[in-house]
Amino acid sequence: MQAFADVKDNSDSGQFMAIQQAAAAALQHAELGDRTRVKYHRRLKKLVDALTKVGFKAKMPGGTYFLYAKAPKDAASVRSPTRRKRRNS
């Protein structure tokens, strides 16, 4: 049984073949990445704008799609419209 487990462990290593093929296609077609970058930038800008509007000091990151922003000091006292609606239901 251990020999079977060892063979299985070694044959299962690596990414699923469809993932490898998709990665290869993406590397051969740079425009796929360009479209994705444009979409992420648009979404991230909307998030930064929305957070800034409600008091966060958010700004567009340079070179990444991760966004880190400190919560405003008075964030604990702020109630979202969604939270109010659920509470009144």
Question: How confident is the model over 17-70, as pLDDT tens digits?
Answer: 899 899 899 899 988 888 888 999 999 999 999 999 988 989 999 888 899 988
Residues 38 and 44: beta-carbon distance below 8 Å = no
pLDDT at 79 over 80: no
Distance CA 81, CA 79 (A): 7
Check residue 12 and give its pLDDT: 67
Give the C-alpha separation, 60 to 84, whole Å: 30
Q: What is the pLDDT of residue 72?
A: 82
Closest CA to 58 of 74, 71, 40, 41: 71
Of 89 and 54, which is predicted with more confidence?
Answer: 54
Q: Alpha helix locations (H) across 1-89?
A: 2-11, 17-28, 30-53, 81-88
Cα separation, 65 vs 44, whole angstroms: 7
